[in-house]
C-alpha cells in the first residue's frame, strides 16, 4: 500500500491560509506604497493590546466608581468614590476587625506580611544557591537544572505536589511519626499554612532568581579576585568589597521582580489552601477574584476598586524597578 504524502497534503491548506494572509498585505502595498506597511504589520498586536489591555484599564476605572451588580457598564449607577470609601471604612486600618470590609484589610496585611517574608527568604536562598553554583562544582549544569526545574511547573501542579506531601496522612507526617513526633495538621492551622504558602512559593520560584544572580556573578571580572588575592584580602573581605557591591544591581532587580510577583500571589495558594483556614492565607488577588467572581452577588465595582489599590502598589514597585534599571544602564556607559 502506498502511504499518502502527508507533507504535500498538509502543504495545500497551509499555502491557502497564507495566501489569505498575504493578500491584504499585497493589496495595501499596491495601492498605497510602502508607507502604511509597518502599521499593517503592527495592526494585530495593537488591536489585541487595545482591546484586552488598554480598554480594560479604562473600564476598570469606570467600574471602580460605579455600583450595582450589572456587568454592562451603561447599566451601572455612578456612585463616585463609594467603593473606595467602603474599602477604606475602618476604625483602625491596622486592625481588620474594625473595618467594614474586614476581608480586604486582612488580605492587604496578609499580602504585606507574605511579601516581606517571601521576598527576604527568596533573595537569601537565591543568593546562597547562586554563590554555591558559582563555585567550581562538578556537574554544574546538572545542579543548576535541579534548582531550576520547579520554575517550569504550573502553579496548580506545584500546589498539588505539596498538598499531597502535607496532607494529614502524607509523607511529612509519616517522617514525623517515625521520628516519634505527633502528626500535625499542616494546612488547617493558620500559622503553619502561612508558613507553607511561603515555603512552597520560594520552592517554586527560587530557581528563576538564582539564574539571574548567577549570570550577575559570572559577569564579575576574574582579575578583580586575582587582585584581591595578591593583596592578601581575606575571603570575607573579598565578599563584602568585591562580590557584593558588583552583584548589587542584579540583587536589586531580583528584589523588585520578586516583590512585584509576591504582591500578586494567587494561583498556588488558591489551590493549596483555598485562602484558608478561615482567611489566614487570603491575599489581595484572591479578594478581587472572590468579590468579582465567586460570591453569589458579584460586586464588580468593589473588585475593580480593590484592583486599583493593587495597581497603586505595583506602579510604585515598577517605578522603583525602572529607576534601578536606569541607574544600572547609566553606570555601564
Partner 1 sequence: MIGFFTRTRGQGRLDWTDWFTYGYLTIGLFLMFGPVAWLVLSSFKTESAITEFPPRLLPMGQKQVAVPGEEKPRPVYRVTLPDGTTRELAELRRIGLTSTMVDPSRPDEPIRVPIDQRTPVREFKLATENYTDLAGKFDFGRYLWNSVFITIVATVLTLLFNSMAAFALSKYRFSGQRTVFLLILSTLMVPPTIVLVPNFLVVSELGLLNSLWGVIWPAVATPTGVFLLRQYMLTLPDELIDAARLDHASEWRIYWRIVLPLTAPALAVLAIFSVMWRWNDFLWPLVVLSKSEKFTLQLALNAFQGDLVTQWNYLLAMTVITLLPVTLVFAFLQKFVTQGIASAGVK
**Binders of partner 1 in range 14-43 (CB under 8 A):** 18, 22, 25-26, 29, 34-35, 37-39, 41-42
Segment near partner 1 (CB under 8 A); pick from 3-11, 52-60, 80-88, 93-101: 52-60
From candidates 274, 276, 277, 320, binder to partner 1 by CB under 8 A = 274
Q: According to CB under 8 A, which one of 11, 69, 116, 137 is a site residue for partner 1?
A: 137
The stretch near partner 1 (CB under 8 A) out of 8-16, 99-107, 114-122, 150-158 is 150-158
> Least CB distance from residue 102 to partner 1, whole Å?
21
Angle at the Cα of 178 from the Cα atoms of 163 and 173, rounded to 5 degrees: 15
Reading the block at residue 55, the C-alpha cell is 480598554
The only residue of 90, 117, 121, 160 in contact with partner 1, by rule CB under 8 A: 160
The least distance separating partner 1 from the CB of residue 288, rounded to whole angstroms, comes to 6
Q: What is the rounded distance in angstroms from the CA atom of residue 318 to the CA atom of residue 257?
A: 9
Q: Taking the complex as a whole, how short is the minimal distance between the CB of residue 2 and partner 1, in angstroms? A: 29
Q: Up-side HSE of residue 290: CA atoms within 13 Å toward CB?
A: 17
Work out which of 46, 85, 124, 316 binds partner 1, going by CB under 8 A. 46
Nearest to 275 by CA among 212, 190, 214, 217: 190
Q: What is the secondary structure of 6-65 as a DSSP string?
A: HHHHHHHHHHHHHHHHHHHHHHHHHHH-STTHHHHHHHHHHHHHIIIIIHHHHHHHHHHT
State in angstroms the smallest separation of the CB of 251 from partner 1: 14
Q: Strand, helix or coil at 288?
A: helix
DSSP state at residue 264: T
User: Is the alpha carbon torsion for 108, 109, 115, 118 positive or negative?
Assistant: negative
Residue pair 186/243 in contact (Cβ under 8 Å)? The answer is no
Size of the site for partner 1 (CB under 8 A): 103
Q: What is the DSSP string of 91-145?
A: S-TT-GGGBTTHHHHHHHHHHHHHHHHHHHHHHHHHHHHHHHHHS--TTHHHHHH
By CB under 8 A, residue 202 contacts partner 1:
no
- By beta-carbon proximity to partner 1, the closer residue of 43 and 92 is 43
Q: Which is nearer to partner 1, 279 or 286 (CB)?
A: 286
Least spacing, CB of residue 161 vs partner 1, in Å? 5
Interface with partner 1 (CB under 8 A), residue from 67, 203, 255, 259:
203
Instruction: Write out the binding residues for partner 1, residues 55-114 only, by CB under 8 A.
Output: 55-60, 63, 71-73
Comparing CB distances to partner 1, the nearer of 42 and 116 is 42
Closest CB to partner 1 among residues 41, 78: 41
Alpha carbons 120 and 98: distance in angstroms, whole number? 30
Distance in Å, CB of 95 to partner 1, minimum: 26
Q: How far is the CB of 252 from partner 1 (least distance, A)?
A: 13
Q: Which is nearer to partner 1, 32 or 98 (CB)?
A: 32
Distance of alpha carbon 243 from alpha carbon 173, whole angstroms: 41
Q: Toward partner 1, which CB reaches closer, 78 or 98?
A: 78
Residues 207-246 that bind partner 1 (CB under 8 A): 207-208, 211-212, 215, 225, 234-236, 238-240, 243
Cα–Cα nearest to 103, from 84, 91, 87: 87
Amino acid at each position: 500500500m502506498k502511504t499518502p504524502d502527508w507533507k504535500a497534503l498538509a502543504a495545500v491548506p497551509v499555502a491557502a491560509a497564507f495566501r489569505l494572509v498575504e493578500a491584504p498585505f499585497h493589496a495595501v502595498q499596491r495601492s498605497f506604497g510602502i508607507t502604511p506597511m509597518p502599521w499593517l504589520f503592527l495592526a494585530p498586536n495593537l488591536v489585541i493590546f487595545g482591546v484586552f489591555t488598554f480598554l480594560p484599564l479604562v473600564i476598570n476605572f469606570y467600574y471602580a466608581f460605579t455600583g450595582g451588580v450589572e456587568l454592562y457598564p451603561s447599566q451601572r449607577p455612578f456612585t463616585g468614590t463609594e467603593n473606595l470609601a467602603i474599602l477604606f471604612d475602618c476604625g483602625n486600618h491596622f486592625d481588620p476587625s474594625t473595618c467594614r470590609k474586614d476581608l480586604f484589610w486582612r488580605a492587604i496585611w496578609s499580602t504585606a506580611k507574605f511579601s516581606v517574608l517571601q521576598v527576604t527568604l527568596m533573595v537569601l536562598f537565591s543568593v546562597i544557591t547562586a554563590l554555591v553554583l558559582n563555585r567550581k562544582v562538578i556537574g554544574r549544569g546538572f545542579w543548576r537544572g535541579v534548582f531550576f526545574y520547579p520554575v517550569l511547573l504550573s502553579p496548580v501542579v506545584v500546589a498539588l505536589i505539596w498538598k499531597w506531601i502535607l496532607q494529614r496522612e502524607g509523607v511529612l507526617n509519616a517522617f514525623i511519626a517515625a521520628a516519634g513526633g505527633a502528626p500535625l495538621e499542616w494546612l488547617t492551622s493558620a500559622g503553619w499554612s502561612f508558613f507553607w504558602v511561603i515555603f512552597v512559593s520560594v520552592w517554586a520560584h527560587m530557581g528563576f532568581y538564582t539564574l539571574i544572580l548567577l549570570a550577575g556573578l559570572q559577569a564579575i571580572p576574574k582579575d578583580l579576585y586575582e587582585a584581591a588575592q595578591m593583596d592578601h584580602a581575606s575571603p570575607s573581605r573579598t565578599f563584602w568589597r568585591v562580590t557584593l557591591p558588583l552583584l548589587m544591581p542584579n540583587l536589586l532587580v531580583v528584589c523588585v521582580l520578586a516583590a512585584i510577583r509576591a504582591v500578586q500571589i494567587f494561583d498556588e495558594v488558591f489551590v493549596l489552601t483555598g485562602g484558608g483556614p478561615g482567611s489566614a492565607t487570603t491575599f489581595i488577588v484572591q479578594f478581587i477574584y472572590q468579590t468579582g467572581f465567586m460570591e453569589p452577588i458579584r460586586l464588580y465595582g468593589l473588585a475593580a476598586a480593590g484592583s486599583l489599590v493593587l495597581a497603586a502598589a505595583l506602579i510604585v514597585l515598577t517605578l522603583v524597578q525602572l529607576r534601578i534599571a536606569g541607574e544600572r544602564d547609566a553606570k555601564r556607559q
